[in-house]
Chains A and B, each alone.
Chain A
């Protein structure tokens, strides 16, 4: 049951998106905390110490998630926390980001998920990332 107890932080300024994610994740017994911006995101991160972060790429329309991910990696406690980045990028621009393995300095996230979300796909990625983190 340790799996069901995993805590997930959603950082997204669109609370509808957060609400939808929350419903999907809670249906699998994940505990969900959320923040609507990078500043509150950091606060909630330190307070709640989640197991995984779901991060919106284009917060405030400006890719604030991008910076947030780097910020997280700089924090000693969360250097290894898995980050799943939500992005509408690929479908918008055809441009896909390199993963952490390829260029961890540039965009230190573990996985990407396209918006709009496919719930099943999201859950699979979340589970995969958590398993990998546990194994490490």
Chain B
């Protein structure tokens, strides 16, 4: 059973009980009042009659007494007025047929005052002496009986020792009153029932409206919240405790909603972060794997690249030392081969060391203001001899006013050296190698171009791989480690520059490198 229903039931029961009892008591009080009113009337009659007949009793005028009684009885609509003598016989009566009748002192009428241990002292003449009785015919009557006292004025004919000379009884029919009362009772009862029902209904409605419905709404609200609908609000109009409770509920859900929103936000943020971190982790893992694969590839390659020349050096030397050479010239040639190979090997080791140095993370890289024009000038001088030897014209095109760049001068030197070396090496007799310096889009741009053998399109993707040397390059030039461009790539990355290659097989090649100009 729900709280609201219980409340309705209990409060209705209380209302019915209170209204019922109250109504009953009120009805009883009203009836009592009516009876007392009737009794008072009867007493008044009795009093008037007693007074009226006193004079005629003094004179012992019996007809007059009878006449008065009859007249009063008729006029006042009384059922009966009786006067008993001291023997209990009816001496006068407004209903003549009653005259001569008797009433034993032990009868119920008289025992009221005369019975031993009677409730009322015989002196009583108050309202209480009036009793509500039911006649033999079943009608309701109020009977007032009062003693007629002997007084000094009466002593003339009645001995003074007698205290009471007779009794006066006034009987008033109250059937009408009783009927009225009964009708009243019914009407009151109906009224009461209707009232109770109405009040109970009103009270129930009130409870329903004030308690059950709000409680139901609250309950539903809590259910919705429990089901996760934090946007749920309840009607909080009004000023009662339930309205306050509803407002508190709304406030609570509001805060919950806000907290939930914040939590959701955090959760989203967190999962995004986790996803990002996971992604980064996966990416770095992938890179690490790639790096380690590259590394083991590299180690294998290095191993081969070092071993192969060592093997041929050893072969040459074995041939010479074993005395297999047919003549001095052959011996000389083999030794020269071994010597050249040794130099190439030395170059390879040098390049490998450079590469290793560049590959080390955290390797400090000094930053200085470097005048690339001056650097290019020095490098150009160094390569003039080699260029001349190969019949290549080496030219420098240095635009004026090129700002310095922020870089490691040794790195830049290595970079320029490698590019110039290739431009001269992979060139033809009568060809041209050009190193140009200029500014474009606010960046310092170094261009090394040649009119040499060029690079085949299919070789482009591997160009910067360690040990990569194209077929054409091998054919064209015996000497080479295939490490130069990988060093160049690392240097450019390290200096924060950008690198691009344009080449056409058989026509020429152009390397372009851009550096941000030094910010003053």
Contacts and interface: CB of A to CB of B under 8 A. Distances in A.
Given A92-B307, A119-B319, A119-B322, A23 B312 contact: no
Given A61-B467, A118-B318, A119-B319, A17 B311 contact: yes
Given A23-B334, A24-B322, A120-B322, A17 B305 contact: no
A16 interface: yes
A75 interface: no
Nearest to B338: A16
B308 interface: yes
A23 B317 CA distance: 11
A60 B473 CA distance: 12
Interface stretch (B60-68, B129-137, B324-332): B324-332
Nearest to A120: B322
Interface residues of B, number: 30
Contacts of A117: 311, 314-315, 318
B305 A20 contact: no
Nearest to B337: A16
A20 B308 contact: no
A26 interface: yes
Given A19-B316, A23-B326, A88 B311 contact: yes
A116 B308 CA distance: 9
A19 B333 contact: yes
A58 interface: yes
A14 B311 CA distance: 10
A91 to B, nearest CB: 8
Interface in A97-136: 115-120
A94 to B, nearest CB: 13
A26 B301 CA distance: 33
A6 interface: no
A88 B304 CA distance: 9
B303 interface: yes
A123 to B, nearest CB: 9
Contacts of A116: 310-315, 318
A116 B341 CA distance: 14
A19 B316 CA distance: 8
B311 A119 contact: no
Contact of A88 (B307, B313, B322, B330): B307
B323 to A, nearest CB: 8
A14 to B, nearest CB: 5
B311 A23 contact: no
A14 B478 CA distance: 9
Interface in A38-93: 58, 60-61, 88, 92
B324 A88 contact: no
A16 B308 CA distance: 10
B308 A58 contact: yes
A115 B311 contact: yes
A16 B316 contact: yes
A68 B318 CA distance: 27
Interface in B283-313: 301, 303-305, 307-313
B305 A61 contact: yes
B332 to A, nearest CB: 12
Contacts of A33: none
A21 B301 contact: no
B318 A14 contact: no
Given A20-B312, A20-B334, A116-B310, 10 more contacts: A16-B313, A17-B311, A19-B337, A20-B316, A24-B318, A26-B326, A58-B304, A61-B304, A116-B313, A117-B314
Interface of A: 13-17, 19-21, 23-24, 26-27, 58, 60-61, 88, 92, 115-120
Interface of B: 301, 303-305, 307-316, 318-319, 322, 324-326, 330, 333-334, 337-338, 340-341, 467, 474, 478
30 contacts: A13-B474, A14-B308, A16-B315, A16-B338, A17-B311, A19-B316, A19-B334, A20-B312, A20-B316, A20-B319, A23-B324, A23-B330, A24-B318, A26-B326, A58-B304, A60-B474, A61-B301, A61-B308, A61-B467, A88-B304, A88-B308, A115-B311, A115-B315, A116-B314, A116-B318, A117-B311, A117-B315, A119-B318, A119-B319, A119-B324
